[in-house]
């Protein structure tokens, strides 16, 4: 059994070495790890960035939480999804990663306090928590036809130093969405234990399925919103941004929404104002352009949604011809997980796919999957490229 954590540095990792070798030899690579929408063949409106050149950006009038017009635009975007988000409860950030850092500073004392993070998940939390001197305690998601929160593991690992629980819903890369009951139970535990709940919703616009096959992303978020204000509910933070919702990672605009009981919200906003005023990291041009960016981003979002749904369907159809390989159910997001025969290590399989088939995928251990053998693929590539790459992956994994 291989460790779920990569033991080598990136420089020494065999997969990274194989990528460098392929590029040095100018071998073509079908990249099924792509997460950058700006390089995935989507059509962006010619005017999408025009708002960044507004003359209003020449006046610097910093505000800790961001310019009012920009915060109102974010609130309107929440309203599009049926959620009430008071602009005064919205805090603009330069990215979701920065939002996490602000919240760790708000909630945790360094070199002592901890936050709980889900696994499997994107391998960023260990770095973000370490940079703020906060300890990351993993809690498990289990798969039994769909991903579910392992309450026993959460309770067993919870310590008195826990100041917040991170929930990524939709999760990257599992594509799982916490059900309304799971969110309610998680919120109840946080409320009882005086911990905050941080919900990363950056992929919420990209539901892959709905109805009996899985929970509706919107219905779960609306249920969470109503419960966040209930008696005994925890202080809750919800994270979003243009990187995913508008396919604009380069403009660097994210946000967090503060929710929960009134007294907790007021206290959190007062303390957040001091933290944000010390950084003032969000540029004026992007704040001035925010309403236009959010509006024009809808056109890109629609293209991305069509693409990831089509590729997910194509993946399931192709995998059906390989009974030894299972596509794990996903509710939303830009990724899909394949369970493949454990005839060799994930690392060996990924290197073999790159060296022999010219296809790059991620191994499960990169995302802290509990055991072998899983491959993670992006649903963003152009359909023809995706179909070709998936065919090679399935044939190699099933060989």
Q: Which domains, from first to last, does the chain contain?
A: 14-42+298-394 (3.90.1150.10), 61-295 (3.40.640.10)
pLDDT for res 399: 86
DSSP state of 43: P
The encoded tokens of residue 308 equal 């990831």
Strands 335-339 and 326-327: antiparallel
Pull the structure tokens for residue 340: 């493949």
Phi, psi torsion values for 85, nearest 5 degrees: -135, 95
What would the pLDDT profile of 37-76 be if each residue is shown by its tens digit? 999 999 999 999 999 999 999 999 999 999 999 999 999 9
pLDDT in tens, 134-181: 999 999 999 999 999 999 999 999 999 999 999 999 999 999 999 999
Q: Looking at residue 7, what is its pLDDT?
A: 39
SS3 labels along 128-174: HHHHCCCEEEEEEEEECCCEEECHHHHHHHCCCCEEEEEEECCCCCC
Query: Tens place of pLDDT for every residue, the chain, 399 residues?
Result: 233 334 334 434 888 888 888 888 888 999 999 999 999 999 999 999 999 999 999 999 999 999 999 999 999 999 998 899 999 999 999 999 999 999 999 999 998 999 999 999 999 999 999 999 999 999 999 999 999 999 999 999 999 999 999 999 999 999 999 999 999 999 999 999 999 999 999 999 999 986 444 455 654 554 555 555 565 789 999 999 999 999 999 999 999 999 999 999 999 999 999 999 999 999 999 999 999 999 999 999 999 999 999 999 999 999 999 999 999 999 999 999 999 999 999 999 999 999 999 999 999 999 999 999 999 999 999 999 999 999 999 999 998
Q: Is the pTM of this model over 0.85?
A: yes
pLDDT for residue 9: 40
**pLDDT recorded at residue 212:** 41
**Cβ count near 3 (within 10 Å):** 8
């Amino acid at each position: 059994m291989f460790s779920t954590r990569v033991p080598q540095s990136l420089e020494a990792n065999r997969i990274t070495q194989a990528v460098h070798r392929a590029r040095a030899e100018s071998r073509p690579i079908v990249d099924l790890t792509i997460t950058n929408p700006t390089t995935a063949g989507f059509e962006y409106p010619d005017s999408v960035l025009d708002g960044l050149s507004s003359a209003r950006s020449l006046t610097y009038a910093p505000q800790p939480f961001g310019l009012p017009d920009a915060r109102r635009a974010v609130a309107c975007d929440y309203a599009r999804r049926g959620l009430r988000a008071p602009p005064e409860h919205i805090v603009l950030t330069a990215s979701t990663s920065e939002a996490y850092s602000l919240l760790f500073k708000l909630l945790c004392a360094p070199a002592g306090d901890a936050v709980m993070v889900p696994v499997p998940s994107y391998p960023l939390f260990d770095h973000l928590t370490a940079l703020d001197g906060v300890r990351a305690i993993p809690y498990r998601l289990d798969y039994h036809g769909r991903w579910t929160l392992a309450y026993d593991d959460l309770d067993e690992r919870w310590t008195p130093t826990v100041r917040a629980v991170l929930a990524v819903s939709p999760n990257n890369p599992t594509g799982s969405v916490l059900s309304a009951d799971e969110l309610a139970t998680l919120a109840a535990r946080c409320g009882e234990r005086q911990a905050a709940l941080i919900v990363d919703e950056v992929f919420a616009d990209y539901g892959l399925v709905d109805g009996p096959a899985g929970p509706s992303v919107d219905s779960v978020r609306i249920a969470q919103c109503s419960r966040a204000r209930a008696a005994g509910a925890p202080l809750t933070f919800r994270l979003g941004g243009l990187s995913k919702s508008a396919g604009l990672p380069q403009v660097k605009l994210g946000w967090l929404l503060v929710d929960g009981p009134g007294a907790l919200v007021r206290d959190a906003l007062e303390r957040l104002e001091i933290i944000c005023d010390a950084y003032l990291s969000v540029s004026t041009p992007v704040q001035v352009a925010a309403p236009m960016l959010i509006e024009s981003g809808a056109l890109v979002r629609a293209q991305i949604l069509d693409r990831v749904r089509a590729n997910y369907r194509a993946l399931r159809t192709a995998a059906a011809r390989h009974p030894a390989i299972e596509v794990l159910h996903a509710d939303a997001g830009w990724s899909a997980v394949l369970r493949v025969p454990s005839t060799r290590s994930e690392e060996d399989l990924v290197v073999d796919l790159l060296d022999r088939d010219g296809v790059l995928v991620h191994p499960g251990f990169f995302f802290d999957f509990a055991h072998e053998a899983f491959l993670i693929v992006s649903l963003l590539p152009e359909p023809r490229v995706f179909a070709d790459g998936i065919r090679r992956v399935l044939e190699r994994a099933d060989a």
